[in-house]
Structure 1
């Protein structure tokens, strides 16, 4: 793991309210695989859940998402691969992502909008450090 991954993982842990470091690593992996925040949001738009994801970015209440919806949007193969990497089952991983992703994206977009550089994970993480 690189120094950036260590720092980014620590920041994601803080953003997630001090939840386990493993979840922060999972979030980092997901954002890296899908091109950062913009890429993840695009996946949800393409999967027909753009309105749901928009609630996480906006300043209102975050709409919930199910583990099945996570698997559908991100792909069961990608979920299985990521789960194996972290030594958990795909079901546990998709449940954890469903539980934490709305809050993570909400905290990454405190002004209710995705910044122009949000596709760059390094810029996003550095912005959180300010």
Structure 2
């Protein structure tokens, strides 16, 4: 079963396009560590550090998502999953802080093993909320 299928299942069919885009984004970046590094190198270290850390999560805007990922990557992901690029940027802005927070419950990136599979288990409760 692919990561997209697992994320889609966790979302219970709702937001399937967003789940696929998040899954694809994580795969493109080399997993959670790669995604965190993308934000760090994009000048968003303070934001992403708050998501990984144990305190409150700083918000990110749709514009900041586009700045870090680039308009081309956002447009490509949106097109692949049948979403409008602005809609996808906003969905990522809404979900990434919480998702990264759930994937790093001890305030640091998990070490070793299949990080995506480990993360999916942690995210199950997050995505199953009504």
TM over 0.5: yes
**Normalised-by-shorter TM-score class:** 0.7 to 0.9
Is residue 23 of structure 2 the alignment partner of residue 28 of structure 1? yes
Is residue 83 of structure 2 the alignment partner of residue 85 of structure 1? no
Q: Which residue of the partner structure matches residue 67 of structure 2?
A: 72
Shift of 1:121: 2.1
Between the aligned partners of 2:94 and 2:39, the Cα distance in structure 1 is 16
**What is the total number of aligned residue pairs between the two structures?**
123
TM-score, structure 2 normalization? 0.82
Q: Which residue of the partner structure matches residue 34 of structure 2?
A: 39
Q: Which residue of the partner structure matches residue 110 of structure 1?
A: 105
Shift of 1:10: 2.6
Between the aligned partners of 1:118 and 1:88, the Cα distance in structure 2 is 32
Q: Which residue of the partner structure matches residue 94 of structure 1?
A: 89
Q: Which residue of the partner structure matches residue 125 of structure 1?
A: 120
TM-score, structure 1 normalization? 0.82
Is residue 57 of structure 2 the alignment partner of residue 62 of structure 1? yes
Listed as ranges, the gaps of 5+ residues in structure 1 are: none
